[in-house]
Chain A
Amino acid sequence: MNNWLRTVVQGNMFYLIAFGLLTPIFALFLIEKIPNANLLTVGISEAIFLMTFSIIRPFTRLSSQSDSRGFRIQYLLWFGSVFIVLSPFLYLLSRDMLDIYVIQMLYGIGVAFSEPAWSRLINQTCALPTEKFNEPFYTAGTLIAAGLAALGGFIAQEQGIPSLLLYVGTTLFCATIIMILIYNRIGIHKAKNIW
């Protein structure tokens, strides 16, 4: 398959999972913006995202396992993308740690809903590794995430964290639109016209 398409899919997936530019400085954002935030609540907020993701992910995988044509996965991708795109804008409106917990839960649901579609795209755009050394398989995605993390730190230092959140929200919207378009193009197997 096309190498550029594979890189775009991997980069988008890493960007959406790692919350793009925000991941390394998320704890600092919480400490600065939220009144009751401390080390324990920051740990809990991260744990809520991971726990929601790990609890819902097996069920979405199971529901999409028998979906050979890919329509059910497409609906899950749409709903998940809406949750993911909404979360940075909701961070801007949050006032208490409880709001952050709910937003983290929503973000976890979004990532768990979108994950079957991403893995299906990865499987279709990448040829399966024939050798046992498939660690360089995800190198492009990791490097893109690294570059974006440094860029996020630069933007946060120059412009402040609220402007970074707006920027992240906009770029996440673009990334999800690109993923949905790519999925429409290559993820769905339409039935043959029997007439």
Chain B
Amino acid sequence: MVNARIKLIASIDLLLAASFGLILPILPIFLVERINGATIFNVALAYSIFLISKAFFGWIFALFMSHEKVSTRAKGGLFFGSILITLTPIVYLYSIEITHIYLAQILLGLGFGFLKTSWMYLTHQTIEELLHETLLNIHGYILTFCLAMVAIFGGFIAYNYGYTLLFYTMFGLGLLATILSIVFLMTKNNPTKNKSKRKIRK
């Protein structure tokens, strides 16, 4: 069954995705309105820089993590990934030129690369192998629905109160996720409990 660790780790991913999802639909408009010299090509390039850095750093971190001390490195990746994603809205807020936005996108890709790789390992470690696919499916449905809700909320905040409050909201959500990740690092995995449940199910 679902234990506290699974709830925590699912909440961390949801909160960080919601934090990024607030700005995601309206990021091109923000860049064109507020950043000096931003064109359509620059906006698309910023998006592709994020995707490339996410794939690249995720791959490198997976290799680094699988080398030795896997569990410790995965926990560290979760913590530092959430910190990097939390700091990105501040970089957006104080950026003036498009180069700063590129740097922010690289930072965001680094954070998501760390987070996704370590998140996948930690969920594998926490839940049974048979239930892992079910967890990923249900988490995917909830994540998509959460992103939909957050897209409306982000548009509402930016339209009525401006971009500054939107970035502070993103920072607050990220901070909450970071605190939850610290709580997750302090909890211990209890393999004996899982084994006993497995026996009962059989």
Interface segment out of the listed A53-61, A70-78, A181-189: A53-61
User: B43 contacts the other chain (Cβ, under 8 Å)?
Assistant: yes
Q: Which of B27, B32, B58, B65 touches A139 (beta carbons < 8 Å)? A: B58
Q: Are A139 and B55 in contact (CB under 8 A)?
A: yes
Q: How far is the CB of B53 from chain A (nearest CB, A)?
A: 9
The chain A residues found within 8 Å of chain B, CB to CB, are 23-28, 31, 38-51, 53-55, 57-58, 61, 131-136, 138-139, 142-143, 145-147, 149-150, 152-154, 156-157, 161
Residue on B with the closest CB to A149? B48
Known: A39-B159, A143-B51, A147-B48. A153 touches B40 (CB 8 A): yes
The B contact surface, by secondary structure, is helix
Q: Are B25 and A42 in contact (CB under 8 A)?
A: yes
Q: Which of A24, A51, A157, A161 touches B47 (beta carbons < 8 Å)? A: A24
Q: How far is the CB of A149 from chain B (nearest CB, A)?
A: 4
Residue on A with the closest CB to B119? A135
User: B72 contacts the other chain (Cβ, under 8 Å)?
Assistant: no
Q: Are A145 and B51 in contact (CB under 8 A)?
A: yes
4 tightest Cβ-Cβ pairs between the two chains A and B = A43-B155, A153-B44, A50-B148, A146-B51
Q: Which residues of A contact B55 (CB under 8 A)?
A: 138-139, 142-143, 146
* A153 vs B45: C-alpha distance when bound (angstroms): 7
Q: How far is the CB of A37 from chain B (nearest CB, A)?
A: 9
Q: How far is the CB of B181 from chain A (nearest CB, A)?
A: 18
Q: How far is the CB of B51 from chain A (nearest CB, A)?
A: 4
Q: Which of B26, B44, B117, B145 touches A42 (beta carbons < 8 Å)? A: B26
Q: Are A25 and B28 in contact (CB under 8 A)?
A: yes
User: B10 contacts the other chain (Cβ, under 8 Å)?
Assistant: no
20 A–B pairs (Cβ distance < 8 Å), ordered by A: A25-B28, A26-B28, A28-B29, A28-B43, A41-B155, A43-B154, A46-B24, A47-B148, A47-B149, A50-B148, A53-B144, A54-B148, A58-B141, A133-B117, A139-B58, A146-B50, A150-B47, A153-B43, A153-B48, A157-B40
Residue on A with the closest CB to B162? A39
* A191 vs B61: C-alpha distance when bound (angstroms): 45
- Beyond the given A24-B44, A44-B151, please list 8 additional residue pairs across the A-B interface where CB-CB is below 8 A: A26-B25, A28-B32, A42-B26, A43-B155, A46-B25, A51-B148, A133-B120, A135-B62
Q: Are A150 and B116 in contact (CB under 8 A)?
A: no
Q: How far is the CB of A74 from chain B (nearest CB, A)?
A: 22
Q: Are A142 and B54 in contact (CB under 8 A)?
A: yes
* A138 vs B156: C-alpha distance when bound (angstroms): 33
Q: Which residues of B contact A57 (CB under 8 A)?
A: 141, 144
User: B59 contacts the other chain (Cβ, under 8 Å)?
Assistant: yes
Q: Which residues of B contact A143 (CB under 8 A)?
A: 51-52, 55
> Digit string of B96-139 for contact with A (CB within 8 Å is 1, else 0)?
00000000000000000100110011001100000000000100
Q: Which residues of B contact A157 (CB under 8 A)?
A: 39-41
Q: Are B40 and A39 in contact (CB under 8 A)?
A: no
Q: How far is the CB of A182 from chain B (nearest CB, A)?
A: 23
Q: Which residues of A contact B61 (CB under 8 A)?
A: 135
Known: A23-B47, A132-B124. A156 touches B40 (CB 8 A): yes
Residue on A with the closest CB to B42? A153
